[in-house]
Chain A
């Protein structure tokens, strides 16, 4: 006989594990299926996990036991040309105090630690198992087909938390793969570079346990829409770059080559000097967010986390894990409510959408839904970083010639780069996206 669960969660990342944890704690029979050898084996992200109130409610003071690398107390945004850079450097000592505004993590450790919480609550973790399809009864999803002998498993509800590529949401008819290309989707390449912790603290001017998140815009991406980053872990750096797929195609530049040349920039070279490569990885990021979200529920199925494109990207903020955890939590809550009524129809599960709409998840994604169009503006990656660096150069360079007053200096730095018309247009676009 085929085994039957109350719920099957596909994918033991932050979204899936949260959903499994919530349902298992409510006494439900839950299977948490993971295709990797262990939770986290297939997962990668830039490196900063921003505070999750939901996680704090599920595991009070989670930071005391979670495998955290460093607390981020400084956030730096650097605009660069090939020779120069201008940085906005923000530091807040409160960010270094509990509950910690942001922390660096390594996913293979964090995801494994977190999935164990779901197991402790009674969920059955099934690793090394790929799910190929859903099982249907008419329109209704009633289980999954795993790629193994006797791989059919039944459940009242299936939660697809299988990541950005979510083949399962496609199979369930909630998402079309062909449409993905029309949205903002980024490929990230990242290196884990090992350095002694004392060297990191000296180089990045931070205390033990504290760290820095630096984002780089401009020459590092050679005109391509995207950004580079360096985040400090305990005794390693997460260095990488996220670039828009369409933009890479237009420019005929390889993401792998971009990362390599980024490390040669004079402002970056000294930060990574002497570091040894421990791991190289790549991943997709659904940064189109709200505009590329699939249908979030159907008869007997819900979609959560990256599979549902719940990534918050405004150009300055880039968050995903906290959104994934919250969406997994509301998915779990919606299933609990459906179970109380013994009704797993799409109408009943639409409660999930309602919970998300009432929370920061869909509120934030909706508020900033125009940010992805603003971020597709090439000038943010080319002329603006160049303008800022030129402006600073014109201001600080001493060459014995008479100096211009500020307005003249600005006009001089803009010359041949930005027209007043473009400036006005981009200002309007930024207003629509952010203000």
Chain B
């Protein structure tokens, strides 16, 4: 099962305001790109040498905040109250 199909099974109340802001230009030049391995929902993607990030499917674990060596994750915060992931089982 791929990660996109797994994401469909998670309930989200997606906020219009991104709670994580990433400087993708800085990511492109990052040698390590550790976010690719630590994000459990693979929200960080590398396609044709370009990094992308989708905050909508974030489970708010904080792994990227700790892993990002150069601090490209310029702002990591929680979504507004009631928004974001909403676990039905947990």
Contact = CB atoms under 8 A, between A and B. Distances in A.
A129 B87 contact: no
Nearest to B59: A282
B46 to A, nearest CB: 11
Contact of B87 (A107, A147, A191): A107
B63 interface: yes
A313 B80 CA distance: 33
A147 B38 CA distance: 28
A128 B40 contact: no
B9 A44 contact: no
Interface in B1-25: 1, 3, 5-7, 9-10, 13
Contacts of B9: 277-280
A337 interface: no
B63 A282 contact: yes
B89 A248 contact: no
Given A282-B63, A283-B61, A42 B87 contact: yes
Contacts, number: 137
B32 to A, nearest CB: 7
Contacts of B37: 248-249, 251-255
Interface in A103-117: 106-109, 111
Nearest to A236: B89
Nearest to B71: A178
Interface in B39-90: 39-42, 59-63, 65-67, 77-82, 84-90
Interface of B: 1, 3, 5-7, 9-10, 13, 32, 34, 36-42, 59-63, 65-67, 77-82, 84-90
Given A41-B90, A167-B78, 20 more contacts: A35-B78, A35-B81, A42-B85, A129-B81, A132-B77, A165-B65, A177-B65, A181-B66, A181-B67, A249-B38, A254-B39, A254-B42, A255-B37, A255-B38, A255-B40, A256-B3, A278-B89, A279-B9, A280-B41, A284-B66
In order of increasing CB-CB distance, the 4 nearest A-B pairs are A282-B40, A128-B82, A107-B90, A128-B81
